[in-house]
Structure 1
Amino acid sequence: MRLRRSVIALMAVLGLAMVSACNGGDDKAADGDGLQKVNYLTSFGAFGREAYAYVALEKGYFKDAGFDVKITPGSGTVDVMKLVAGGQADYGIGDFTGFAITLANQKLPVTTVGAIHQRSMAAIMSLEGLGINKPQDLVGKTIGDQPGSTNTVMFPVYAAAVGIDPKSVTFLPSPPPGLPKLLASGKVPGIGQFVVGEPLVAKADSKHRKVITLPYGDHVPDLYGNAIITRSDLAKEHPDQVKKFMNALLKGLQDTYDDPAAAATIMKKYVPELDVDVATAELKIMQAYIKPENFKGPLGELTADRVKKVISLLEQSHAIPQGSIKPEDIATLDLAPKS
């Protein structure tokens, strides 16, 4: 009987915690200054590529918009989606294509409201002399990557675009922090990595070999990169709050685009172990993905035509079943920035 009461009490506490977490859109969830408390997840870890959120925090953009924001390192698109869906976070960052593929197979109450990158940053990286110099060299190779990572999940789309059989490439499950060293050791000839990871890969190689990068976006340019994720109910019931938060975050992104070195320096105040030089190099690479050449839209733009193209590409490459998702299932386009 005592055990049963303890279990019931524990379930009640957990239930209250979940209700509290899910009240991110409730105006009552405010601190002493009247600011709305918001939990935000980065896409993955605390690398330089995430600096824009820290810039928005440091420069008071979140506070000016009425938010008290807590930034927590995320652990990949799928985990970010699940944590946002469950109410443990209000907003997060995840790869748009990985987001779409996940929702085609598992329904979660989440949506995207804006794009951080107008091109996918997914890539395969190698080092000079390891036998990978072009997409066709991937055939028969083993690539180290985190299970379920964006690079792995999206690989069939890339493979179809470059004309190789995705099954001809083996992905070796490997912990993300050790991927650069795994490549440098020669234990694998390639690793899954975002294009901005090039400075980290170069730093890990004591032989100072040239980094070979095969960006997915070079062959599938219609794919978005990272996008802003929130709960579907928050987007529907509190659209003004979502717009204010997104606009504050995008102000941080604009400042980061304009001055990568300053953004990296700001981030180091919050992440002391950050290598400012590496972070700055990452952010300089990221500029071409935030605003690609010939891109004329507003920062953060998501359009119906592009979203439809992404879905079509995923269906054509058999990454998702035909008709499994519609644009409105993965993006709340009326909240996205417009020209």
Structure 2
Amino acid sequence: MVAAATLTSCAEKPKDAGGKSGDKITVGLTYTPNIQFAPFYVAAEKGYYKDAGLNVRLRHHGASELLFGALKSGVEDVTYAGGDEMLQARSQNLPIVDIATFYQKYPVGLIVPKDSDIKKPTDLKGRTIGTPGPYGETYFGLLALLKEAGLSPKDAKVKNIGFTQQAALTGKKVEGVMGYLNNDAIAFQEAGQEVRSLTLDGGAEGDPLVGVGIGVKEKTLDKRGDEMKKFVDATLRGLQYAIDKPEDTVKISEKYVPGLKKDEKRQKNALAVLKATTPMMQNDAGELGANDAQSWSRMADFMYDQGLLEKAVTPEDAYSNDYLPKS
């Protein structure tokens, strides 16, 4: 889950996690170390990367670092980002390909007080809605909800509130906030605030947006395709472990997430976030990592129509299932 459109210089010191043969695979885990990156932490600590003969380095971005800056410059070989953000990057001439989508269900929704009379997208007309800013998954999700109702941002009162969703909603500065269902919604609950969420309804056609996955440049795939297949396989093993053993996964993540080890409250939150996240990571067939052609096509049309792409992008060029493990 990506938290902002731009990020900075001083990145977290990378952690080596794997075998010693071959060139390193540097993985960009966007922003602050967090339980959301647990599949990578697990794959490192359980030796899945090492077993595959991979030399993997996990690198968290700095606070003002561009989302794809390190991938573009060659500092990173892989970046964990939204499929929608990858599509946007392709429209800006970065040839990035999503080779495994983690979030099979889009993790963003509108969070409102439990007693709010906002119950469906059409109720957003004339309402004051808070979003961190006009970028990233929370904003894309808002546009998609409005489109479901046949509305545009001009039909609602959209306020850019930064990452102050809880304060803005409880302080009644807005009537609803866009946030992550597996993170922000839990923060409200833990603070004793009763809320509910309005989510995207893609119906039989699937979500109009694609969530977070593994992004790699075409050039890297051409040169190191076999390594990338091994990397995806090992990381999905880490994801499956996180799904099967959430308590153990939180324990494993203590090495990577500062302050988690000795803070019972943070451990409880991490477990709640993890348990809310993992159901979103399997499709209806129980598969991990799959890219859905229909969702990518819908997203390309939606984002172009909304003016989110600098130019039209062929969706089939933006993703591939060729690097997933063969069942």
* Equivalent position of 1:42 in the other structure: 29
The 3-state SS of whatever aligns with 1:45 is coil
Find the aligned partners of 2:156 and 2:85 in 1 and give their Cα distance. Answer: 19
1:53 aligns with 2:40: yes
Name the amino acid aligned to 2:285: F
* Equivalent position of 1:241 in the other structure: 227
User: Which of the residues 234, 244, 253 maps onto 1:258?
Assistant: 244
Change (3 A) 1:217 1:291: farther
Cα RMSD (Å): 3.0
Which deviations, in whole Å up to 9, do the C-alpha atoms of 1:160-207 show, x marking residues without a partner? 12333332234433333x43333333333322212111212323x3xx
1:308 aligns with 2:297: yes
- TM-score of the pair, normalised by structure 1: 0.77
- TM-score of the pair, normalised by structure 2: 0.80
Q: Which moved more, 1:163-172 or 1:83-92?
A: 163-172
* Equivalent position of 1:331 in the other structure: 319
* Equivalent position of 2:269 in the other structure: 278
Considering only CA atoms, is the larger Rg found in Structure 1 or Structure 2?
Answer: 1
* Equivalent position of 1:96 in the other structure: 83
1:196 aligns with 2:185: no
* Equivalent position of 1:4 in the other structure: none
Find the aligned partners of 2:201 and 2:30 in 1 and give their Cα distance. Answer: 18
How far is the alpha carbon of 1:41 from its aligned partner?
2.0
* Equivalent position of 2:173 in the other structure: 187
User: Which of the residues 120, 130, 145 maps onto 1:134?
Assistant: 120
Change (3 A) 1:234 1:308: same
Name the amino acid aligned to 1:329: D
How far is the alpha carbon of 1:91 from its aligned partner?
1.1
Identity %: 24
Unaligned runs of 5+ in 2: 1-16, 261-265
Which deviations, in whole Å up to 9, do the C-alpha atoms of 1:60-93 show, x marking residues without a partner? 11222233333233479x9333321221211121
| Contact 2:121/2:148 (<8 A) preserved | no
| Contact 1:144/1:188 (<8 A) preserved | no
The 3-state SS of whatever aligns with 1:34 is coil
Structure 2 counterparts to residues 14-25 of structure 1, below 5 A: none
How far is the alpha carbon of 1:243 from its aligned partner?
0.8
The 3-state SS of whatever aligns with 2:255 is helix
Find the aligned partners of 1:244 and 1:46 in 2 and give their Cα distance. Answer: 24
Name the amino acid aligned to 1:135: P
Unaligned runs of 5+ in 1: 1-29
1:109 aligns with 2:100: no
